[in-house]
Amino acid sequence: MSNNDHITVEVAYALPQHQLIIPVQVLPETTAEAAIKASGITAKFPEIDLTKNQIGIFGKLTKLDTPLRHLDRVEIYRALIADPKEVRKQRAADGKAMKKGG
């Protein structure tokens, strides 16, 4: 592959009931942000806000200015509905209350 060839990357976003993966042809060293914009995914999901949503490449958090490599998958993450730490604390508190009650 010469330096002038395009590379293929994927941009992915998932809702609880729907997932979309869009393949995009970009120049080598294109940033994650540029690939997201080129995919048009933000037009399909207007709730995506790149100033708030975290992104990753294959499940590993990354920054918008990260250069991409051939076959990378950029994943846009949704905000968590509940903080996992708070959920665990609540479950632990519920468990203790149940044990006390017998």
At 51-95, the pLDDT tens digits run 999 999 999 999 999 999 999 999 999 876 666 677 777 778 777
Helix (H) or strand (E) holding 7: strand 7-15
Mean pLDDT of 43-47: 93
**What residues have CB less than 8 Å from 54, skipping those under 6 apart?**
61, 77
Which pLDDT value is given to residue 3? 47
In angstroms, the CA 55 to CA 12 distance is: 10
Write the pLDDT tens digit of every residue in 19-39: 999 999 999 999 999 999 999
- Sorted by where each starts, the structural domains of the chain and their CATH numbers stand as 7-101 (3.10.20.280)
